[in-house]
Amino acid sequence: QSTQRWKPQCIYQILTDRFAFSDEDHPKAPSTGRMYLGGTWRGIARKLDYIQDLGCTAIWISPIVKNIEDVTGYGQGYHGYWAQDLLDVNPHFGTKQDLIDLVQQVHDRNMLCMVDIVVNHMAHAGSGEIDYSKYRPFKSEADYHPRRYVQNYDDTIDCETGWLGDDTVGLLDIRTEEPRVQAFFQDWIRDLVQTYHFDGLRIDTVKHVHREFYPPFIEASKVFTFGEVFHGDPRYVGDYLQYMPSSINYPLYYQIRKAFAQLPRISMKEFYDKAVLEARAYIPDTTILGNFIENHDVPRILSMTSDSSLLLNTLVALMYLDGIPIVFQGQEQMFVGGDDPENRNALWSSHYDTTHFMFSVLSKMIHVRQSLIRKFPEFCNTLSRCLYLDNHNYVFERPGCIVCLCNGGSNSVFKFPVTVSVEQGSVARFMDIWTEEIFEAAPSSPSTLNLIVDAGLPKVLVHLSSIPR
C-alpha cells in the first residue's frame, strides 16, 4: 500500500528553479531574487548523488505546469505556482521527456518522486482586465469565482471561494465545486501520474478548495498524498485527514518554532503537551504526517535563532519525532533567510559541499534513522514514548533508540536520570551517535541512564545490545 511505502522515506524538497543547472555547476551565477534563475529537471537528475549522499530517499519537486510568463511586481513564476496551462509543462524547467527521464532515474535508484500540484487557481499579473482565452483548459470567466480577495482565512466560504493574492498577482479561483471541473481534474491527475510515473502528490492550497473535492481526486491519482493544510491547530488539520491520507505537519512546525526558535521559548513541557499529546488527540495517526522545520513559505530557522545547539535540536526533532521527515534544500548547507524569496536561495551558491559540517551531521541522522527502520520494521508505525520531561529537556524512545531534545541553548548544561526498560537480568547498552560514548543501563529496578546534556546539544542514543549480566 502506498502509505506504507512513504512512511520509511526521508523526503528532500526541491525548488526546481533553484536546485541545479542542466549541464554544469555555476556557483557564481545569481542565486537570489524573484526571477527565474535557471534550475531544471535535468539539473535535478544530475545531482541525485548529492541527495543520496545526504541519505534522502525521495524528492518533492515544484509544480510542473506552464506558468504565466509575466514579470510581475512579485517577479516571475519561478516557483511554479502561477499556472496558465495545465496541459503543458513549464519550459523553463525542461521538456516532457526531461521530466520522464528524471522520474525514471529516481526510480532506478530505488527512490520516490512526489510532485507538487495546484488545483485551486491560475494566475494573472496586475489588477487590469483578464484575457481568459490564454488559460487552458479553463478559458472562460465563468470557470472562476468572481474576483474578491480572501480576507479571512478562518472563514470557510471566504477561504474556499475568494481569490488568493492581490492586485499585484491575482490567483483566479477555479470553480472546483462544479462537477465538470472535478471530472476534468480527475482525468488530469490520472494522466499526469501515468505519464510521468509519479509516486506521490503534494496538494497545494488545500484549505482553499472544498473538502469533498479531494477523495475522488486522490482516488483517481492512485498515489499517496500530502495536503498543504496551512494551519497550526491539530483540530483543523485533523479534520482534513478525513478527506486525504496525510498532511504537511504545520501544527508540529509551529510548536518546534515556539520551543526552539522564537523568544520567549515555551517550555519543553508545553511542547510535549501541544506537539505530542494534543496532536495525538485530534490526529488519528501522527506517524503519517509530513514533518518539516523549513520550507519555501516560512523563514529559515537560522533567521530566527543563531544558536547552533537549538538548530541541531530542531533537526533531531525533525528526524525522530513521529512522522515522515522532509528536508528543505539548503538546510544541509545551513542556509539563512527570512520570508520569501530570502528562504529560497539557489543551492549552487553552496558548491553542493558534501563536506559541510551540517551536511555530515544531517546525513548521519538520516542514515541512523534508516538503519533503525531496517532493523525495526515497526519503527515508522510506532509512536514515540516519553521517558523524561522537565522545562528544558524532553527524552523519548522510538524503536531502537532514545532521543533527547533540549531547548536550553548552547550555554546550558543539564544532568538527569532517565528510566529505561531493560530486559530482566540484562544490561542495556546505548551509543551516542556523535560522540560514540557508550551508556549502560543496569538491571536495577528501575533501570536508569544518567544523562548529561552538554551545551544544550540534542542526543541520539542507539540501542546496541542487551547483554546478559
Residues found near ligand ABC in the complex (CB under 6 A) = 74, 79, 81, 118, 153, 164-166, 169, 204-205, 207, 228, 230-233, 254, 296-297, 340
Active site residue 228: yes
| Closest to ligand ABC by CB, 67 or 305 | 67
| Closest to ligand ABC by CB, 33 or 409 | 33
Residue 229's contacts (CB-CB under 8 Å, 6 or more residues apart) are 206, 207, 236, 237, 240, 247, 248, 250
254 binds, among Ca ion, ligand ABC, none (CB under 5 to 8 A by kind): ligand ABC
| Closest to ligand ABC by CB, 46 or 231 | 231
208 near Ca ion, rule: CB under 5 A = yes
- Paired with 431 in beta bridges are 438, 462
**HEC-encoded secondary structure of 179-217:** HHHHHHHHHHHHHHHHHHCCCEEEECCHHHCCHHHHHHH
CA distances from 464 to 8, 360, 400, 401, 405 (A): 21, 22, 8, 9, 20
- Paired with 408 in beta bridges are none
239 binds, among Ca ion, ligand ABC, none (CB under 5 to 8 A by kind): none
Q: How far apart are CA 22 and CA 125, in angstroms?
A: 29
Q: Which stretch binds Ca ion (CB under 5 A): 15-23, 47-55, 87-95, 168-176?
A: 168-176
Q: Got the DSSP string for 215-284?
A: HHHHHHHTSEEEE----S-HHHHHHHTTTSSEEB-HHHHHHHIIIIISSSPPPHHHHIIIIIIIHHHH-S
173 binds, among Ca ion, ligand ABC, none (CB under 5 to 8 A by kind): Ca ion
The three three-digit cell numbers of residue 266, written as one number: 515555551
At closest approach, how far in Å is the CB of 61 from ligand ABC?
Answer: 13
**Max Cα-Cα span within the chain:** 80
At closest approach, how far in Å is the CB of 72 from ligand ABC?
Answer: 8
At closest approach, how far in Å is the CB of 173 from Ca ion?
Answer: 4
296 binds, among Ca ion, ligand ABC, none (CB under 5 to 8 A by kind): ligand ABC
Question: Which member of 62, 67, 120, 313 binds Ca ion (CB under 5 A)?
Answer: 120
At closest approach, how far in Å is the CB of 128 from ligand ABC?
Answer: 16
Strands 324-328 and 11-13: what pairing? parallel
| Closest to ligand ABC by CB, 169 or 449 | 169
297 binds, among ligand ABC, Ca ion, none (CB under 5 to 8 A by kind): ligand ABC
At closest approach, how far in Å is the CB of 425 from ligand ABC?
Answer: 50
Q: What is the CA radius of gyration of the chain?
A: 23
Q: Which stretch binds Ca ion (CB under 5 A): 29-37, 117-125, 379-387, 396-404?
A: 117-125
At closest approach, how far in Å is the CB of 126 from Ca ion?
Answer: 20
- Paired with 171 in beta bridges are 123, 164
At closest approach, how far in Å is the CB of 64 from ligand ABC?
Answer: 14
How many of the other CB atoms lie within 10 Å of CB of 140?
9
| Closest to ligand ABC by CB, 74 or 282 | 74
| Closest to Ca ion by CB, 39 or 165 | 165
Q: In this structure, which amino acid lies at residue 251?
A: P
307 near Ca ion, rule: CB under 5 A = no
Candidate list 143, 228, 307, 332, residue with the active-site label: 228
| Closest to ligand ABC by CB, 101 or 233 | 233
Q: Specify the DSSP element, H or E, that contains 416.
A: strand 414-420
| Closest to ligand ABC by CB, 287 or 343 | 343
Q: Which stretch binds Ca ion (CB under 5 A): 25-33, 72-80, 201-209, 403-411?
A: 201-209
Q: How far apart are CA 119 and CA 194, in angstroms?
A: 18
CA atoms within 13 A on the CB side of 131: 5
Active site residue 204: yes
173 near Ca ion, rule: CB under 5 A = yes
Candidate list 143, 204, 322, 397, residue with the active-site label: 204
For residues 393 and 453, the answer to whether their CB atoms sit within 8 Å is yes
Cα 115 vs. chain centroid, distance in angstroms?
Answer: 12
At closest approach, how far in Å is the CB of 296 from ligand ABC?
Answer: 5
Q: In this structure, which amino acid lies at residue 200?
A: G
What is the contact surface with Ca ion in residues (CB under 5 A)?
Answer: 120, 173, 208
Just list the catalytic residues.
Answer: 204, 228
